Structure 1
Amino acid sequence: MDYRKFENQYVIRLDRGEEIAESLKFVAEKEKIKLAYLTGIGAAGKVTAGVFDTKEKVFKGHTWEGDLEIVSIGGNINTMNGETYAHFHISAADEQGNVFGGHLQEAVISGTGELVLTEINGTVDRKFDEETGLNLFEF
């Protein structure tokens, strides 16, 4: 991984074998980023993503492996109980052009990842919500 900061934006290159969420959390902690949003593209060899079942209050994920193009990745970094909290969604395409995705659990770069993390001046924490089972923004 390598990255450069330009004003409030971090342009990040992820390399083969690096995991996206883990790498972004590392950058956020190193740079003391408390609030930011993410956009990016790239190539992955493994993606685990899915949906949160709001009735059962559990995450239901799927894993795809092979040559996958990251069509888009987006989300945010903020805090929960003073700790870095990352929340990302991903869309990826296989060799046949089938696109799948959802809430990102894991994505391992196979070629490269080209990401832009834009820092926002401020802090937004999260708090667990019993009704939904989700960690929601708390202002």
Structure 2
Amino acid sequence: MKLKPYFTQAFITLTLLFASATLFAQEYLPATNAAKTGRSPGVKVKLLNEQGRAKTYVLVFAKGDEVLSGLTEFAQKYNVRSASFTAIGDATSCKFGWFDKVKKMFKVISLNEQAEITSMIGDMSVINGKPSVHAHINVADQNGNVHGGHLIEAFIYPTLEVMVTVYPATLQKQYNAESNINLLHPEL
């Protein structure tokens, strides 16, 4: 049986549309995703200042280190219960998220090229007794266009300089079912 030309064209169009939708399917991640550790062997740490019980450190990341992995490992090793940080540097690739309140997940945005980390800011707290790192990042591509959002993953080249201030108090995060996010609860 031979198909009529308009059926053939419709079949080809539908096939192309399906292939395009599959090719460009958007990745989403849960907002409660924990950082993978063990991906930042080159991070160096130096204590810069101690004022009372507050401490300021510099963390210097090396080529190939992954940011959230290194920050999480630092928090684990130094038993960080509450901290804030800022950073600048360079990355070979980044993944960041935009929170979709309908899906209650992060829409993943990828930048797979060398970029300047023009700013990174975040905090460290505790979720169920374990350190948790929350960061937002802005990166500039080779044309100076800035991209950013909630940091999911960034691999460094050649370096990242992070200034971390660790506080003596503990900041707790607790799961919020309405948003599907772990939120700070200073009263805990």
What is the TM-score when the length of structure 1 is the normalising length? 0.97
Q: Which has the higher strand share?
A: 1
1:110 CA displacement: 1.2
Structure 1 residue runs of 5 or longer lacking an equivalent are none
1:4 CA displacement: 0.5
Residue identity opposite 1:4 in structure 2: K
Distance 1:53 1:12 in 2: 32
- Aligned Cα root-mean-square deviation (Å): 0.8
2:64 maps to 1:22: no
1:17 CA displacement: 0.2
1:51 CA displacement: 1.0
Taking only the aligned residue pairs, the percentage that are identical comes to: 34
Q: Which residue of 1 aligns with 2:46?
A: 4
2:110 maps to 1:110: no
Tell which structure's C-alpha radius of gyration is larger: 2
What is the TM-score when the length of structure 2 is the normalising length? 0.72
Residue identity opposite 1:135 in structure 2: N
1:13-38 superposed Cα distances (whole Å, 9 cap, x missing partner): 10000001100111111111110001
Distance 2:64 2:152 in 1: 16
Q: Which residue of 2 aligns with 1:49?
A: 96
Residue identity opposite 1:67 in structure 2: Q
Q: Which residue of 2 aligns with 1:33?
A: 80
2:167 maps to 1:125: no
1:68 aligned residue (108, 115, 127):
115
Distance 1:131 1:29 in 2: 29
Residue identity opposite 2:45 in structure 1: Y
Residue identity opposite 1:48 in structure 2: K
Cα contact 1:35–1:79 (8 A) shared by 2: yes
Cα contact 1:15–1:109 (8 A) shared by 2: yes
1:40 CA displacement: 0.5
Structure 2 residue runs of 5 or longer lacking an equivalent are 1-42
Cα contact 1:54–1:133 (8 A) shared by 2: no
1:124 CA displacement: 1.2
1:71-126 superposed Cα distances (whole Å, 9 cap, x missing partner): 00001010000011110000000000000010000000011001101101100111
Query: For structure 1, which segment, 125-134 or 67-76, has the greater mean C-alpha deviation from structure 2 after superposition?
Result: 125-134
Q: Which residue of 2 aligns with 1:97?
A: 144
Aligned length: 139
Q: Which residue of 2 aligns with 1:87?
A: 134
Runs of 4+ aligned structure 1 residues displaced above 2 Å come to none
